[in-house]
Amino acid sequence: MSIPKPLVQVNQVFLIVFVLLSWLISPLLFLFPLVVGIIALAFRRNIIMRAFTPSLKRPAREYVQEDAAQQRFNQWIATICLAVAFISYSFGFEVIMYIMSGMVVLAAALALSGYCIGCTIRYRYMMWKYNRKNSHSN
């Protein structure tokens, strides 16, 4: 299964915008992308991507496709980072809040510019699992 790249990019922009707004207005705004992330992970339905699907000018299959499993992995990372950021804020640890939410902004910005840090992490994890499995069977 795959996702049209423009929808992935909309989600990345959404994350960047809401984290920056959270910094400028109120950390309570972390709740919006956090809830969107939880819903996406729980139901495999990203409401931001769904909302923007009608704005695609061509049929979805005609766009460059992104791997859905990779996008779920990336969503896990972003959602966990945002949850830690919000919890940190709730307990008065603002430095941790900025670090964790800043990682989301950095990862999304890098992805928009063509480098997916989540892809690198997942690839290395999969290689570690593969090597671990094969070294135990010898």
Domains of the chain, residue spans:
2-136
Full pLDDT tens readout for the chain, 138 residues: 899 999 999 999 999 999 999 999 999 999 999 999 999 999 999 999 999 999 999 999 999 999 999 999 999 999 999 999 999 999 999 999 999 999 999 999 999 999 999 999 999 999 999 999 988 765
Distance CA 94, CA 15 (A): 19
Q: What is the pLDDT of residue 137?
A: 60
pLDDT for residue 29: 96
Query: What is the structure's pLDDT at 138?
Result: 56
DSSP state, residue 66: E
Helical pair 31-43 and 68-90, crossing angle rounded to 10 deg: 140
Q: How far is CA 107 from CA 13, 70, 77, 79, 111, in A?
A: 11, 14, 10, 12, 6
The pLDDT, as a whole number, for residue 104 is 98
For residue 135, the model assigns a pLDDT of 85
Q: What is the pTM of this model?
A: 0.92
